[in-house]
Amino acid sequence: MQDFLKKLAPASVASSLERRVKRLTATLNPTLEQRWERKKKSAPFTTVKTKQGIFTVSTRDDGIGKDLFCRGQYELSTIDKVFKILIDNELLPKNSPGTLLDIGANCGIISIGVLKRGYLKTAIAIEPEPLNFELLQKNIANNHFEKQITVLQFAVSDKAGKVSFELATNNLGDHRIRSAEQNFQPPEQFNESQREVIEVESRPLDVILKDLPKNVNGNIALMWMDIQGYEGQALLGAEGILKRSIPLMVELWPYGIIRSGFSKKIYCDLFKKHWKTVWHGQAECFVKHPVSYVEAIWDEIGEAGAYGNVILTR
């Protein structure tokens, strides 16, 4: 088409016509990213059928929401890799009747994805932020998991009470507790100082689980934790459940951990106290190391804003 236009018209006219053709083509056959941008302008929410369930997402969310809309999944390959490691190494039976403990559940992507895949039968999904919690409940209903997933609206920490909670504008997966001991080094990478701050209710994990019926919290097979650098404080409030030797899948984000007020040594020592093995997430699989290797994983990721995933097992 472009060559044809160049033959018929002078360069300036052809160039103008080419731009019009591109705009027309985008209008008639928009890419998913273009459709997402249009959706953002026309509606605050959209519902999309994906490989891991049906999800209603905020069109402000250029993180998880956009991935679900444009790619039809979010971290689904990570879910599959985690359960392959656990099942292949006899750390979890295939089609386990157990429960997923999903800490930082967001809109339900992990809990719903795990149940949809048939890896576990039930889940406890904990999410503090009001909009994400509303979407979490909506998505559980979208997928008819009301009886299988227990939802709780708390931030998970080492203390009970109100905590300051900063809201990311365009990435609804990057809301975070703003710690009173927050370390402002390294320098902020994500405009944190300009974020809106609200208060949310916080509980130690052991307290949250103690208040649940035995049939809900008694069969936890896997903990999945992604709370934007506040994982260390959450683990300090989870001494009871950590004694159960339950595997933990956790995001390792040195930048966020340091900003939360934790040091590399304190954080890595927590891992060494409770687990013997760390599996480092790579492009194709998770690689097994003794838990002492976690410092090397930290150094490999660096403190400038990158993150990785690790599984911790006994």
Give CA–CA dist 123/268, Å, rounded: 27
Predicted local confidence at residue 36, as pLDDT? 95
Tally of structural domains, the chain:
1
Say which CATH number the domain at 181 has.
3.40.50.150
In a domain? residue 80? yes
pLDDT score of 166: 96
- DSSP, res 243: T
Asked if the structure places residue 65 within a domain, the reply is no
User: Does residue 159 form part of some domain?
Assistant: yes
Higher pLDDT, 265 or 15: 265
- The arithmetic mean of pLDDT across residues 193-217, rounded, is 94
Nearest to 235 by CA among 92, 104, 87, 98: 104
pLDDT band at 4 (very low <50, low <70, confident <90, very high): very low
8 A C-beta contact, residue 117 and residue 92: no
Cβ atoms within 10 Å, residue 63: 17
Q: Average pLDDT of the chain? A: 90
> Domain limits at 257?
73-313
Specify the higher pLDDT residue, 9 or 78: 78
- Looking at per-residue pLDDT, the higher value among 58 and 27 belongs to 58
**Is residue 191, in this structure, part of any structural domain at all?**
yes
Instruction: Give mean pLDDT, residues 192-215.
Output: 94
Percent of the chain with pLDDT over 90: 82
Tens of pLDDT, residue by residue over 86-141, are: 999 999 998 889 999 999 999 999 999 999 999 999 999 999 999 999 999 999 99
Identify whether 19 is part of a domain: no
For 57, phi and psi rounded to 5 degrees? -130, 160
Quick check: is 96 in a domain? yes
pTM of this structure: 0.89
Residue for token pair 């890799």? 81
- What's the one-letter identity of residue 292? S
pLDDT-derived band at 260 (thresholds 50, 70, 90) equals: very high
Residue 297: pLDDT over 80: yes
| Residue 8, pLDDT above cutoff 50 | no
Q: How many CB atoms lie within 10 A of CB 207?
A: 16
- The structure tokens listed for 243 are 């004694």
- 4-8, 219-223, 257-261, 274-278 — which is least confidently predicted? 4-8
Confidence band of 19 (pLDDT split at 50, 70, 90): low
Res. 10: pLDDT tops 60: no
Higher-pLDDT residue of 231 and 180 is 231
Query: Between helices 32-42 and 64-71, what is the axis angle to 10°?
Result: 130
Q: What is the pLDDT of residues 151-178, one digit of tens each?
A: 999 999 999 999 999 999 999 999 999 9
Q: Helix H segments across the chain?
A: 2-8, 11-28, 32-42, 64-71, 76-88, 109-117, 130-142, 205-210, 214-217, 231-236, 239-242, 254-259, 264-274, 294-301
Residue 26 to residue 30: CA distance in whole angstroms: 4
- From 257, 272, 234, 238, select the one nearest 308 (Cα to Cα): 257
Other CB atoms within 10 Å distance of the CB of residue 212: 13
Contact call for residues 173 and 108 (beta carbons, < 8 A): no
Residue 113 maps to a domain? yes
Which H or E run contains 44?
Answer: none
Tell me if 95 is assigned to some domain. yes
User: Could you tell me if 305 and 191 are in contact, meaning their C-beta atoms sit under 8 angstroms apart?
Assistant: no
